[in-house]
Amino acid sequence: MKAVLPDSRIPKRWYNILPDLPEPLAPPLDPETEEPIEPEKLRRIFAGELVKQEMSSERYIEIPKKVRKLYAKIGRPTPLFRATHLEKALGTPARIYFKYEGATVTGSHKINTALAQAYYAKEQGIERLVTETGAGQWGTALSLAGAFLGLNVRVYMARASYQQKPYRKTIMRLYGAEIYPSPSDRTNVGRRFLREDPNHPGGLGIAISEAIEDVLRDENARYALGSVLNHVLMHQTVIGLEAIDQMKEFEEPDIIIGCVGGGSNFAGLAYPFMKRKLEGKADYEFIAVEPRAAPSMTRGVYAYDYGDSGGYTPKMKMHTLGHTYYVPPIHAGGLRYHGLAPTLSVLINHGMVKPVAYHQNEVFQAAELFAKTEGIIPAPESAHAIKGVIERALKAKEEGREETILFNLSGHGLLDLGGYEAFLDGKLDDYEPDVFPAMAGGL
């Protein structure tokens, strides 16, 4: 399967928001010294080009030709749709558009950065990429990127998902990856958690620690992260750059909405529009939606914290619930994370992005209405964005206001039917802890 030449509508450059942020980012700290980390140390963990991009002050970075070709192959540009049947069902004067990342071959936006990361690793002569996956979308994307570019891929998958989502595992195996349930007995950190609980369900934070420990043992391996970091968010800006081009044929959006785990799909759609707002060329409202079970934006503290549970990653200044927080097992596995992208944290602090949080039952209800009206079964993660959109469209109706909403439908939910089944049977729990480790000295 080969797309005919890179589609001319695929962007040629990614947008890097770093030089345009309202304040400079606080530097990541070395977990051993608590001093700003040396790039040399980061290069042992990540491919060199990614470390460069992570700290780059260049506003645009060229997308390598090979990556653009692969973008065409996996289904870019992704379609832009208007949700007319949803509008009608809501009786709203708002017009609702969405970018559909579920249309890529792996079914979510994660492939946009997976291809870029695998490309740079391959160029550098790296042989293996190691990563974690929570719900499985990131592991799936990196496995395919490895298959396309000729790299071995090893994935640590949170044990609960490993057991509950066997089909994700099948897809990764078909793409040729090695998969281990996490915590595993392959790493010190994994064994530590297994000693605490032999049936430990795992989580993103633990799986990240295991993947990093694995990489540090193999000179020819590097780690790949699916969200949070600057370079990951930058690779995702193909979504927003395409959307600006596609919306030209229709109208300017007033409101931009996305769901947030680490922040990458939200930033991918929003940051190219944010650039215009930061320049004073346009005014948009940005709404970021998270689960109440993992409310880093609405209830987290802004502080330095680790990106993983084991304390191996550099410390980043971000909105966090505390790296020791065990996120309850909501079905939106991709949103079960304690932290948040540092750039998005800054934008929230400056009031540029408004965060909201919802419970999973109301989110699945929104997804059900969307499925009935538009036909697409959204990923439970993306359904958070849909809930945000519906609330906003109903408010427009109440106030008799016409407005244009654009949101990111980050992935399809065809491998999340277990969660939908539980919802239909009335068996979903809504979780919201009273206190989080970050507020109780757990940083």
Question: Where on the chain is the footprint of ligand PLP (CB under 6 A)?
Answer: 108, 110, 137-138, 227, 259-266, 334-335, 379, 381-382, 410-411
Token readout for 40 is 């040399």
Shortest spacing between CB 441 and ligand PLP, in angstroms? 27
Given a contact cutoff of 8 angstroms between Cβ atoms, the answer to whether 225 and 232 are in contact is yes
Given a contact cutoff of 8 angstroms between Cβ atoms, the answer to whether 159 and 183 are in contact is yes
Shortest spacing between CB 64 and ligand PLP, in angstroms? 22
Shortest spacing between CB 213 and ligand PLP, in angstroms? 22
Shortest spacing between CB 418 and ligand PLP, in angstroms? 16
**Which residue minimizes CB distance to ligand PLP?**
411
Shortest spacing between CB 10 and ligand PLP, in angstroms? 20
Give the closest residue to 73 by CA, choosing from 147, 133, 16: 147
Residue 336 CA to residue 8 CA, distance in Å, equals 36
Nearer to ligand PLP, 11 or 262 (CB): 262
Shortest spacing between CB 268 and ligand PLP, in angstroms? 7
Nearer to ligand PLP, 122 or 407 (CB): 407
Residues 336, 342, 303, CA angle at the centre, nearest 5°?
Answer: 85
Shortest spacing between CB 4 and ligand PLP, in angstroms? 28
Nearer to ligand PLP, 87 or 101 (CB): 101
Nearer to ligand PLP, 36 or 166 (CB): 166
DSSP-derived 3-state class of residue 326: coil
Nearer to ligand PLP, 227 or 309 (CB): 227
Given a contact cutoff of 8 angstroms between Cβ atoms, the answer to whether 1 and 69 are in contact is no
In 145-292, the DSSP E strands lie at 152-158, 178-182, 221-223, 255-259, 285-291
Shortest spacing between CB 356 and ligand PLP, in angstroms? 15
Nearer to ligand PLP, 228 or 396 (CB): 228
Name the DSSP letter for residue 378: B
Alpha helices in 21-153 (DSSP H): 39-45, 48-54, 65-73, 84-90, 111-123, 137-149
Give the total residue count for the chain: 443
Give the closest residue to 359 by CA, choosing from 331, 379, 334: 331
Nearer to ligand PLP, 121 or 340 (CB): 340
Residue 12 CA to residue 72 CA, distance in Å, equals 12
Token readout for 204 is 């993103």
Nearer to ligand PLP, 268 or 437 (CB): 268
- CB-side exposure of 138: number of CA atoms within 13 Å? 33
Residue 322 CA to residue 320 CA, distance in Å, equals 5
Give the closest residue to 373 by CA, choosing from 92, 28, 156, 65: 92
Shortest spacing between CB 92 and ligand PLP, in angstroms? 24
Nearer to ligand PLP, 167 or 250 (CB): 167
Name the DSSP letter for residue 303: E
